[in-house]
Structure 1
Amino acid sequence: MEETKMVVFQSGKEEYAVPIQYVVSIEKLDHINPIPHLPVYLRGIVKNRGELIPVIDFEQVLYSQFIENLSESRLIVLQVESFLFGILVKEAKEIIDIPIELQKQIGLMAYEGTRYFSAVANMEKRLVTIIDPKILVESLEGIQDIQEYMKTMQNA
């Protein structure tokens, strides 16, 4: 039975997961440095282990609301090709193996606004929506500008 190791997290009242191969770390936060004139989903930048990391508020992406309580939230730092970024989530819950046969493709994947949902894991007592971080980064409006900005910050 083939399985995929995933980091499960909560955003809103729902559970989501990202494949572990994209996850660099899971961090506690107490402060995000805001940067003016960036897209609304981008809360700002944090410095973590010597790296500058743009912080995407996942609740803003999904539900158009901000995560209010930073001290209880978590930052899941993800690496996609040469781009390092973090998604701010309510809670990082667990790392689990999700069998491939439980990962169902659903029709919503074709919808432009949710292309980054790669599957839904239909588990015994819960549904977990699986996120593809590469498609997430590609689908966010203005993210290319942020990637360019981060390159200039790293080289400064």
Structure 2
Amino acid sequence: MPKVVVFHAGKEEYALPIENVVSIEKVEEIRAIPHLPPFVLGLVKVRGELIPVLDLGNILYDTPAIAEKGMFLLVVQTKTMQVGLVVMEAKEIIEVADESITNVGLLAYSKTTYFSGIINLEDSLLTQIDPDVLVESLEGIKEIKDYVNEQKTHQN
């Protein structure tokens, strides 16, 4: 059975496939970077890796995450690069039966191509996010990747 990490972003609960989640960190100091899209909060170092921090609430709802206490950083590996997603709370890791995952008609909506399914639990619905598609769909992601690589070069 697939395992997912359940978390809050905005007012909803979402899930990411466990195999994409490298770690769950407390949000430490984020180094802000000027002139990047508003959903990029900056860069952070996690275990020696420099990763861009993306504000998932901003990506999904166009509302910036206020640096509240209890924000978490989901460090996620995608085909493009490692990113940190700022989320409200990373609640739990659960196993999901294949039959409880539905592909939704909404998934055809171009702005939400990264929603890979709806997980139907007894007491709630979770929207599953495909992190590869999410990161690929972000405006300016190539520039962000180039910037991070450039920073890594300067560090060595």
TM-score class, shorter: over 0.9
Q: Percent identity?
A: 48
2:132 aligns to what SS in structure 1? helix
Tell me the equivalent position of 1:142: 140
- C-alpha deviation, 1:70, in angstroms: 4.1
The count of residues paired between Structure 1 and Structure 2 equals 154
After superposition, residues 111-122 of structure 1 pair within 5 angstroms as 111-122=109-120
- C-alpha deviation, 1:144, in angstroms: 1.1
Match of 1:4 among 2, 5, 10: 2
1:28-56 residue CA offsets vs partner (Å, 9 max, x unmatched): 01321110000011010111111111000
TM-score (norm: length of structure 1): 0.95
Taking the aligned partners of 1:108 and 1:146, their CA distance within structure 2 comes to 28
- Higher strand fraction: Structure 1 or Structure 2? 1
Taking the aligned partners of 2:26 and 2:68, their CA distance within structure 1 comes to 8
1:104-144 residue CA offsets vs partner (Å, 9 max, x unmatched): 00011111110000000011110000000000011111111
Tell me the equivalent position of 2:45: 47
Taking the aligned partners of 2:31 and 2:68, their CA distance within structure 1 comes to 12
Tell me the equivalent position of 2:79: 81
Moved more, 124-133 or 63-72: 63-72
| Gap runs ≥5 in structure 2 | none
2:51 is aligned with what amino acid?
A: I
After TM superposition, which residue ranges in structure 1, 4 or more long, deviate above 6 angstroms?
A: none
- The alignment's C-alpha RMSD in Å is 1.1
1:117 is aligned with what amino acid?
A: F
1:49-103 residue CA offsets vs partner (Å, 9 max, x unmatched): 1111100000001111111134310000011135111100011000000111100
2:111 is aligned with what amino acid?
A: G
Tell me the equivalent position of 2:89: 91
TM-score (norm: length of structure 2): 0.95
Indicate if the aligned counterparts of 2:80 and 2:136 stay in contact, CA closer than 8 A. Answer: no
